[in-house]
Amino acid sequence: VYNFLHSKEQKDVPPAEPLTNEQTLNKPETEAMKIQHENGVMVRGVNNLMIRLSRCCSPVPGDQIVGYVTRGRGISVHRKDCPNLLNEPDLQQRTIPVEWESTGQLGADYVTEIRVVGFDRNGLINEVLHVVNHSVKTLRNVNGKVDDKTSTATVTIKVAISNTAQLEDLMVKLRNIPDVYEVTRVNNK
């Protein structure tokens, strides 16, 4: 059955026309060199690679990024300032240049984490969530804890954003909340 279907399939496909030298030479170099992938990251001159955004530093469009060649899992894309990447012993031999396709594809979501530290008072977490809900379209996770000794509240928020401009805008709004001491982007281990 397989041989019958396979031979029938081959008969239905017309032979491809070979390219002339002129057609080959006219292909723009930039198209041949930049390969676009689903996650918005491009690797120059390489096709059919598995590319994934690392979870440790959660890069988003606008971040300076670098590709790290993993053993068996393709290319892992990290922010250039990722502590996990900087601690890698064979960093120079296993990194390749990558770049964002654009600074935020329309509708694309990139998950990142933000830590907000402030004075533990009534309504702080509510104000933080209010700012987040009005700044981003998707709130993925919220985790909060209170340190009674120092009277500080720490809220860790995982959000889906489009680019670093949207992230920076959110962080500025969070810093403007009364009694907020610090707003930072989280690097996971």
Q: Is 110-185 CATH 3.40.50.720?
A: no
**Helices of type H across 57-176:** 83-86, 91-94, 124-135, 164-175
- 67 pLDDT above the threshold of 70: yes
> Which pLDDT score, from 0 to 100, does residue 27 have?
41
Strands of the sheet with 180-185, listed across from one edge: 138-147, 152-161, 110-119, 180-185
Residues with Cβ within 8 Å of residue 169, at least 6 apart in sequence: 135
CB atoms within 10 A of CB 20: 9
Reported confidence tier of residue 31, pLDDT bands at 50, 70, 90:
very low
Reported confidence tier of residue 179, pLDDT bands at 50, 70, 90:
very high
> Which pLDDT score, from 0 to 100, does residue 38 have?
61
For the chain, the structural domain boundaries read: 29-100, 110-185
Q: What is the mean pLDDT of the chain?
A: 81
Q: How far apart are the first and last CA of the chain?
A: 52
168 or 2, which is more confident: 168
Q: Is 158 exposed, middle or buried (0-12, 13-18, 19+ CB in 10 A)?
A: middle
Strands of the sheet with 34-36, listed across from one edge: 34-36, 41-44, 98-100
- 105 pLDDT above the threshold of 60: no
- 23 pLDDT above the threshold of 80: no
pLDDT tens figures, 5-16 = 445 445 554 555
**144 phi and psi angles, rounded to 5 deg:** -130, 150
